[in-house]
């Protein structure tokens, strides 16, 4: 049977979940969508998931069975805050229109039962709005906005959402809003003028637990894992750790450094020379799609404060020193400072601690004395994926099934 727009009938088919992440920078949005898709399809073996992503490294990840992705043309953020197409010879308006058309076409053909949108209610530069209009008019797709635990400081976020029309889109389109965190750490919507009706649709899921994705053995132990996330803004952290090991020849344990795929080639070449001079006290890899294995085997972690890294610290119950970035957003600092208040991690920041080799040496030496996150008795911290799969199952129920309960 053919339904409107030539899309096949959805009444007797397996569930379909679409996830959208704009991915203009870094790995966070793609990794979060991938974790969600894996959990949803694992909980319901009939379900499939399709991730729409602008990440330039999407093809370097493996995806679970019944999960696939559509790679949107890439864009990159310039130093002045504007955006440019990534290597297509097109202007940003042209590439945004192209991306918007691909999103809408994918949604028409895939006909998702649920669309989960990551972080940006209107998508990159409003590219998602035509698809939201279409799906709302057709009325068969449940629309979910997923927010990480921290977006930005309230005043900055309020101005940004006002400029993008994000408040109006959130009020108009989304059936549910999932916050991938806990209210005791932060409310990402603080300062946003959301109506009481919209706030009533919000749910705190807990953080998204990570698990070992392969049977690969970790490196020889003991070691401290050093990870700046995607690496695009992690040069200062890598340099600080290397200076610590260069300054103190007795510093132990050795460090395993993951540069991330977005560290510039010239900077990485300089770091490689310094790593080689340390004669095995620091070893390095460029990109590790199964970084969970490295987390599992680490004695402790030194990292930036991105959402996914924080989830991994909690999931593998690792003592961690977080050195958060503070530009262009305070997101990482807000997360790390609140987590430090709760005793979950230790934070280092320039204004308070001074980011010197001696500071990092002390932090690495003192890692074994830190409490484990699990010792802080924070209930519900890692319930996120369980909560999401329960909500997906509820949203997939037909009205007759709901009435029968």
- Residue 368 exposure: Cα atoms within 13 Å on the Cβ side: 6
| Helices and strands in the chain, H and E counts | 15, 15
CB 195 within 8 A of CB 393: no
pLDDT higher for 59 or 351? 351
Taking 60 as the threshold, does the pLDDT of residue 3 lie above it?
Answer: no
- Tokens at residue 152, please? 């930005």
Average pLDDT, the chain: 91
- Tokens at residue 272, please? 């490689």
Domains of the chain, each with CATH number or no CATH = 4-209+382-404 (3.40.50.2000), 223-376 (3.40.50.2000)
What is the structure's pLDDT at 2? 39
Rounded CA gap, 403 and 405, in Å?
6
pLDDT tens digits for range 225-246: 999 876 568 899 999 999 999 9
Q: Please indicate, yes or no, whether the overall pTM of this predicted structure exceeds 0.95.
A: no
Helix (H) or strand (E) holding 148: strand 142-148
Backbone angles phi, psi at 118, to 5 degrees: -90, 110
What is the structure's pLDDT at 233? 80
What is the structure's pLDDT at 149? 97
pLDDT higher for 228 or 198? 198
* pLDDT above 70 as % of the chain: 91
Sequence-distant (6+) residues with CB within 8 A of 351 are none
DSSP for 24-77 reads SSSSHHHHHHHHHHHHHHHH-TT-EEEEEE--TTGGGS---TTEEEEEPPPEEE
pLDDT interval class at 214 (50, 70, 90): low
Rounded CA gap, 296 and 367, in Å?
16
pLDDT higher for 48 or 75? 48
């Amino acid at each position: 049977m053919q339904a409107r727009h030539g899309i096949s009938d959805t009444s007797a088919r397996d569930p379909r979940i679409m996830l959208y992440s704009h991915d203009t920078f870094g790995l966070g949005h793609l990794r979060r969508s991938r974790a969600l898709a894996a959990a949803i399809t694992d909980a319901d073996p009939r379900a499939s998931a399709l991730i729409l992503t602008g990440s330039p490294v999407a093809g370097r990840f493996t995806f679970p069975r019944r999960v696939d992705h559509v790679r949107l043309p890439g864009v990159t953020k310039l130093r002045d805050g504007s955006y440019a197409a990534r290597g297509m010879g097109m202007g940003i308006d042209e590439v945004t229109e192209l991306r918007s058309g691909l999103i809408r076409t994918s949604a028409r053909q895939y006909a998702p039962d649920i669309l989960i949108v990551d972080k940006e209610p209107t998508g990159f530069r409003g590219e998602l709005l035509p698809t939201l209009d279409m799906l709302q008019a057709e009325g068969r797709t449940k629309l979910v906005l997923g927010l990480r635990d921290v977006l930005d400081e309230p005043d900055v976020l309020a101005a940004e959402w006002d400029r993008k029309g994000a408040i109006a889109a959130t009020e108009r389109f989304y059936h549910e809003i999932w916050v991938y965190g806990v209210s005791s750490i932060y409310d990402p919507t603080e300062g946003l003028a959301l109506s009481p009706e919209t706030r009533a649709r919000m749910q705190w899921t807990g953080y998204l637990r990570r698990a070992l994705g392969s049977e690969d053995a970790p490196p020889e132990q003991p070691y401290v894992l050093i990870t700046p996330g995607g690496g695009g803004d992690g040069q200062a952290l890598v340099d600080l750790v290397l200076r610590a090991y260069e300054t103190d020849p007795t510093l132990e344990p050795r460090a395993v450094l993951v540069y991330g795929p977005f560290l510039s080639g010239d900077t990485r070449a300089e770091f490689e020379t310094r790593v080689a001079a340390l004669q095995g006290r620091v070893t390095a890899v460029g990109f590790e799609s199964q970084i969970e294995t490295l987390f599992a085997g680490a004695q402790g972690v030194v990292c930036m404060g991105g959402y996914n890294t924080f989830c991994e610290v909690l999931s593998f119950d690792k003592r961690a020193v977080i050195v958060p970035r503070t530009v262009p957003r305070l997101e990482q600092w807000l997360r790390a400072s609140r987590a430090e208040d709760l005793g979950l991690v230790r934070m280092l920041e320039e204004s308070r601690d001074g980011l010197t080799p001696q500071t990092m040496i002390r932090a690495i030496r003192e890692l074994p004395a830190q409490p484990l996150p699990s010792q802080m008795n924070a209930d519900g911290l890692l319930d996120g994926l369980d909560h999401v799969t329960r909500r997906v199952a509820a949203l997939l129920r037909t009205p007759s099934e709901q009435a029968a309960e």
